[in-house]
């Protein structure tokens, strides 16, 4: 499956590399790190795409050094334009590198694309003290009843694994991680350029979330999970 990220097929279908989501995603990372008092001098993002998240994080943490890794030449070409004295980008697979250690490794909307995601997550552990995972929660009652949302994600953006909160957290624990904090992020409510169906579901999702966050996510979907782990 990794070929699509290297041969240009993914870039052809997703020419922005989801840069429009970078500000929102960086805010989620910033919040969970600050809320947990995490101090750090460097951060590495695996699967950094066009680099927008690191640019936004550098504004929030101006004294931190940032490194982005991606295997896509098309994404790297876009990211390289954003290079600065504090932000560097590598057209490499981090897992092929030896002797690297970061304070934080961020893995933002990546593991659902990786064929052997369990092996990938296990190998990542040695590269950083803290990890920040952002994982879309594609499994819900409404998505399974309709199936079209899941199949669209598979075709359009390359999701080949699907999670709910419990499965995502269990997978991280099984891979040897200690969960420090987790929270839902309202991806379908707050990200830009949502489909008509998502806009129609916005109010029901908000209303049910006020009553029971877990129930809202399990039944109606539209949320992702951000996890801080060691």
Tens of pLDDT, residues 181-197: 999 999 888 887 777 77
Alpha helix positions (H), 36-140: 52-60, 73-80, 117-124
- 3-class DSSP state of 38: coil
- List the domain boundaries for the chain: 3-188+223-229
Q: How far apart are CA 199 and CA 159, in angstroms?
A: 22
Whether the CA torsion 88, 111, 176, 118 is positive or negative: it is negative
Low-confidence ranges of the chain (pLDDT < 70): 1
> Which pLDDT value is given to residue 203?
84
84 close to 94: Cβ distance less than 8 angstroms: no
Tokens of 179: 């969960």
**Calpha distance 5→9 (Å, rounded):** 7
pLDDT of residue 1: 63
Position of tokens 């109606």? 220
pLDDT at 131: 98
Looking at domain 3-188+223-229, its CATH superfamily turns out to be: Vaccinia Virus protein VP39 (3.40.50.150)
Radius of gyration of the chain (CA): 17
Q: For residue 96, what are the CA distances in angstroms to 15, 70, 92, 99, 131?
A: 27, 12, 8, 10, 18
Q: Which residues contact 153 (CB under 8 A, 6 or more apart)?
A: 136, 138, 159
């Amino acid at each position: 499956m990794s070929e699509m990220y290297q041969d240009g097929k993914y870039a052809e279908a997703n020419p922005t590399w989801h840069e429009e989501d970078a500000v929102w995603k960086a805010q989620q990372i910033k919040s969970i790190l600050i809320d947990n008092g995490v101090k750090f001098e460097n951060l590495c993002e695996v699967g950094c795409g066009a680099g927008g998240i690191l640019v936004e994080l550098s504004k929030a943490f101006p004294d931190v050094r940032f490194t982005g890794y991606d295997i896509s030449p098309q994404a790297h070409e876009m990211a390289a334009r954003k290079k600065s004295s504090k932000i560097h980008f590598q057209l490499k697979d981090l897992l092929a590198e030896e002797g690297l250690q970061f304070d934080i490794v961020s893995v933002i909307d990546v593991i659902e694309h990786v064929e052997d995601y369990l092996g990938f997550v296990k190998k990542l552990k040695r590269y950083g003290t803290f990890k920040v995972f952002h994982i879309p929660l594609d499994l819900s009652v409404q998505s399974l009843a309709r199936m079209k949302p899941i199949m669209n994600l598979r075709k359009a953006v390359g999701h080949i694994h699907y999670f709910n909160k419990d499965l995502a957290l269990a997978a991280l624990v099984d891979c040897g991680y200690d969960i420090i904090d987790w929270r839902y992020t309202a991806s379908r409510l707050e990200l830009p350029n949502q489909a008509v169906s998502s806009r129609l579901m916005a109010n029901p999702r908000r209303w049910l979330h006020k009553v029971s966050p877990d129930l809202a996510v399990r039944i109606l979907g539209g949320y992702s999970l951000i996890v801080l782990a060691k």
